[in-house]
Structure 1
Amino acid sequence: MSDLLSIGRSGVLAYQGALQTIGENVTNADTAGYSRRSVVLKEQSTYIGAFSLNRSAGAFGGVQATGVQRVWDQYKASNAWTSNSDASGASTRTQYLSTVESLLNDSDTGLGTRLTAIFATATQLSANPADTGLRQAFLGAVSDATTAFHTTAANLTKLSGTISTQANLLVGQSNDALDNLAKINLALRITPSTTAARAQLEDQRDALLGTLSGAMAIDTTFAADGSVSVRMNDVSGPLLLSNTAVSASQVRLQTATDGRLSISVQTEDDTTLAATPTGGALAGLVDGAATTAGRRQQLDGMATGLVDLLNGFQAAGLTDAGVAGTDMLAGTDAASIKLVDPFGIADIAAAGVAPPDPAAPPVDPLDPPVPPVAGAANGNLLALVGDNRGPDGLEQRWKTMVTDQSLQVSSAKLQESAASTRKDTAYTALDETTGVDLDNEAAELLRFQQAYSASAKVIQAARETLQTILDLF
């Protein structure tokens, strides 16, 4: 009779724990990073003396809950983290490449239109080089172009600063995640398996690995005790965290003067290893910084080209006073280009005719006229327009840069779409294993409630039987 009471009691306790676990699953059904729990039940044996009426030394003694098991799939989790790195890197890359594209303003107020206006007004001026209104329009077009250079350069410089700031924040978050992983590794090594505390630590471990995978591509290796070793990129990448280490390596960020980013890893023994993330938001930021720096360099080259072009135009022509023109522009890059101040309309060297030689003998009026040596009065303006609008001209260089950026953005968007689809598929597969299915939990709840009720009835039957026996005396 006492065995019957023990069996009922064991069932009540075991199924009570199972119901509590189901309640925890339902409560955390929408909690990010939570993995479903299940109670491990096994037969409970009761051992008795070997010579008790020749019965076996072991007898069935009910059921017992030996612990809480966390439902998890290492392969699916690793695949999800890899997909997350790819998607995060592609998304970040698209974001900043698109921003660069928008800053390369190719609208009616953009630099390309301003450069075209210089040649358009020069063409108009060539029809009447002495017209002060046309000269003023030409100078205005040059001034508008310098302003467009300044605006575009300032915007790209600001974007470089933003990228660097975001990268610094991300590196800090990654180092925090690695430090916390080191602490969790230590806790996992001393926490018994199949316990609620162990399952909670493993949830925290996986959440940190998910965060880290969003920042960079990682490779993970799990020990039998649940602790994890992490490398950047792949199995041959720099070691970020050893599962037995007290502290983690530190990711470092370096920003060059032109805004380009580089990553390194400082190990526990203070060894610095260069590293280039192949995935994650850091990879996207590194790529975005490099693209922005490249566009700034191209923009500076065009600004220098405009300075050389217009100053060369001035030097090749003559002013109204018959002397070579002075420099029209100053500056060495897009941020510093400007009209020389003070600048007067009369300083435009619009002619293409050499000044008369005072030592030359007077021309006989009966001699036939001699054409100008260096061309017509508008020859310098015609040369400015005719010689500098071809495939190597400033306008074409601008168009090529804008088109190339647009193609990069289009390619990045395609990659982002594909990576996002892979991520969704990977996380769906992981969720099918680790996620909480409320329908399944409802079925399990009903099953354990019935088992709990049955165990209670066993106890009740044992008590009633015992009471009946006692009533016989």
Structure 2
Amino acid sequence: MASDLLSIGLSGAKAARIGLDVTAQNISNAGTDGYVRRAIGLAEVASTGYNQNVRDVSLSGVRVERIVRNADAFRQSEVRRTGAETARANAEVKGLGNIESALEQSGVYPAITGFESALQKLKEDPVDTSLRASVIEAARTMTATFQIASKEMDAVGKGLQFEAADGVTQINRIAGELARTNLRLARAADASSDQTALLDQRDKLLADLSQYGDIGTTLAQDGSVTVTLGSTSPATTLVSGGSTTALALTTAADGTVDYTLGGTPLALAGGSLAGQQQALDKLAQLRGDLDGLAGSIVTTVNSAQGGGTDRDGNPGANLLSGSSAATIALATGDPAKIATAPSGAPKNSRDASNLDALRSALSTADPAGKMDAILFDISATVSGRTVTRDALATISDAAKTALAAQTGVDLDAEGVNLVRYQQAFQASGRVMQVAASIFDSLLQIR
């Protein structure tokens, strides 16, 4: 078998130099987010047709066949899937926590019990001006807390809607970047550093995209990716080659949001957009419950008022106005207008039978109990979702750790590679020196 020492030494030196370059890239990017460790794939260079036998095989050195990215597609997909679920849970818990704070800090529950306590106190002396004034102020406080709760919930809703709209913008931006990366991958040469950098960029964009929605991916031979978004069946394509489909958001009258992809309704099961959508759905339910409670209090109080007589002997008038948490208000600030006496009673009557009827009606309606149920509903929901979020975060962290163990850079191993490739480079150089000495000796033979 014939061997070309110079070609063998040259090919070995080139391969070792590329190995040194790749190792240097690994070391310099050890802390770079999204970087995947590289390695070189080597293959023998063989030639045929030497000497008299065309079947003679000459081993002529080594060549770099490819630059290998040490990344497993399944593990990357698992990180994206678990990351999307965790992002959804985080966004939902954050939104629900803000709703819980809005309801608890508004003080609706203690204001309702305060109003009921003031009515009970008025029973001691139905014509006492100070006790009547206390009832009016307690009613004013109660209506104000309902309005505060409504405004705070509106603020939470607007914040969730803004975050959802920003998420839609980010998905469309990332989709555009992925489409451009696909076009560049289609033109990139195999085993090039440019291709591996583009693949890193592709994987990072996919990881970023999975934080906003649950995605599905299909990889082509050239490294380009087709991305579907959401759990709608059949799957709706977000990115295909160099083209994208626009994601849009619509807001309903009750503050909930829906998504469309290319005009087609889209259901999301993962990502922050799904979590914000679920939090807005819960907010709409709780807002309806609070509005129903406020309307019930207004109806109950005013109905009892209409069946009695105020301190001046006039028929009872409405004490409250409005029909929702945002519109409930005090209809009158005059303490004398509280109808404590029964219908037809004279002025300054101490007969408190209508006051008893009002308290009995409130006891039946049980506004404090209903408000307590609303608070328990959101509190229990937050607690349950928090447990789910923590479990999903643990699973996601485990998937990230497994991927990092495979794709991360081990500086100790890279240090060994530096020495190994340096020695390989020196050995290849020595082979070329020996070949040159042999040829010089042959040329000097006479």
- Measured against the shorter chain, the TM-score band is over 0.9
Amino acid of the structure 2 residue aligned with 1:259: G
Cα distance per residue 1:165-198 (max 9 Å; x no partner): 1101000100111122222222222323222111
What's 1:35 paired with?
36
Q: Does 1:121 align with 2:111?
A: no
- 1:388 is paired with a residue whose SS is helix
- 2:71 is paired with a residue whose SS is coil
What's 1:420 paired with?
393
Residue number among 246, 249, 252 corresponding to 2:245 in the alignment: 249
What's 2:216 paired with?
219
Q: Does 1:95 align with 2:90?
A: no
Question: For 1:130 and 1:321, how far apart are their aligned partners in 2?
Answer: 10
C-alpha displacement at 1:468, in angstroms? 4.3
- 1:296 is paired with a residue whose SS is helix
- 1:39 is paired with a residue whose SS is strand
Amino acid of the structure 2 residue aligned with 1:131: D
What's 2:326 paired with?
335
Q: Does 1:161 align with 2:158?
A: yes
- The answer to whether the Cα contact below 8 Å between 1:240 and 1:249 also exists between their aligned partners in 2 is yes
Cα distance per residue 1:417-454 (max 9 Å; x no partner): 11101111111122222222222222222221221121
C-alpha displacement at 1:352, in angstroms? 2.2
- More displaced stretch, 211-220 vs 459-468: 459-468
Cα distance per residue 1:101-159 (max 9 Å; x no partner): 111116xx711000001110100101100000000111000000111011111000011
Where does 1:51-200 land on structure 2 (aligned, <5 Å)?
Answer: 51=52, 57-105=56-104, 110-200=107-197
- 1:224 is paired with a residue whose SS is coil
What's 1:385 paired with?
359
What's 1:349 paired with?
339
Residue number among 219, 228, 232 corresponding to 2:229 in the alignment: 232
What's 1:398 paired with?
371
Question: For 2:331 and 2:219, how far apart are their aligned partners in 1?
Answer: 67
- 1:128 is paired with a residue whose SS is coil
Amino acid of the structure 1 residue aligned with 2:4: D
Question: For 2:336 and 2:153, how far apart are their aligned partners in 1?
Answer: 36
- The answer to whether the Cα contact below 8 Å between 1:127 and 1:378 also exists between their aligned partners in 2 is no
C-alpha displacement at 1:472, in angstroms? 5.5
C-alpha displacement at 1:42, in angstroms? 1.2
C-alpha displacement at 1:353, in angstroms? 5.0
**What RMSD, in angstroms, separates the aligned Cα atoms of the two structures?**
2.1
- 1:127 is paired with a residue whose SS is coil
- The answer to whether the Cα contact below 8 Å between 2:175 and 2:239 also exists between their aligned partners in 1 is no
- 1:104 is paired with a residue whose SS is helix
- The answer to whether the Cα contact below 8 Å between 2:211 and 2:271 also exists between their aligned partners in 1 is yes
What's 1:366 paired with?
none
Where does structure 1 lack aligned partners over 5 or more consecutive residues? Answer: 267-271, 357-374
- 1:60 is paired with a residue whose SS is strand
Shift of the 242–348 alpha-carbon distance from structure 1 to 2, 3 Å rule, reads closer
Larger Rg over CA atoms? 1
- The answer to whether the Cα contact below 8 Å between 2:146 and 2:325 also exists between their aligned partners in 1 is yes
What's 1:269 paired with?
none
Q: Does 1:442 align with 2:415?
A: yes
- In the alignment of these two chains, the number of paired residues is 443
Shift of the 414–131 alpha-carbon distance from structure 1 to 2, 3 Å rule, reads same
Question: For 1:136 and 1:201, how far apart are their aligned partners in 2?
Answer: 74
Amino acid of the structure 1 residue aligned with 2:334: G
Cα distance per residue 1:291-318 (max 9 Å; x no partner): 1122211111111112112212221210
C-alpha displacement at 1:464, in angstroms? 3.3
- 2:104 is paired with a residue whose SS is coil
Question: For 1:469 and 1:383, how far apart are their aligned partners in 2?
Answer: 124
Question: For 2:281 and 2:398, how far apart are their aligned partners in 1?
Answer: 31
Residue number among 238, 258, 262 corresponding to 2:258 in the alignment: 262
Question: For 2:384 and 2:278, how far apart are their aligned partners in 1?
Answer: 14
TM-score by length of 1: 0.89
What's 1:283 paired with?
274
Cα distance per residue 1:206-226 (max 9 Å; x no partner): 111111111011111112222
TM-score by length of 2: 0.94
- More displaced stretch, 162-171 vs 29-38: 29-38
What percent identity do the matched residue pairs reach? Answer: 31
What's 2:284 paired with?
293
- The answer to whether the Cα contact below 8 Å between 1:72 and 1:434 also exists between their aligned partners in 2 is yes
Question: For 1:65 and 1:247, how far apart are their aligned partners in 2?
Answer: 34
C-alpha displacement at 1:235, in angstroms? 8.2
Q: Does 1:432 align with 2:405?
A: yes
Shift of the 472–210 alpha-carbon distance from structure 1 to 2, 3 Å rule, reads same
Question: For 1:194 and 1:8, how far apart are their aligned partners in 2?
Answer: 22
Question: For 2:192 and 2:240, how far apart are their aligned partners in 1?
Answer: 20
Where does structure 2 lack aligned partners over 5 or more consecutive residues? Answer: none
Question: For 1:237 and 1:29, how far apart are their aligned partners in 2?
Answer: 40
What's 2:298 paired with?
307
- More displaced stretch, 192-201 vs 2-11: 2-11
What's 2:7 paired with?
6
- The answer to whether the Cα contact below 8 Å between 1:329 and 1:339 also exists between their aligned partners in 2 is yes
Where does 1:444-463 land on structure 2 (aligned, <5 Å)?
Answer: 444-463=417-436
- 1:240 is paired with a residue whose SS is strand
- 1:389 is paired with a residue whose SS is helix
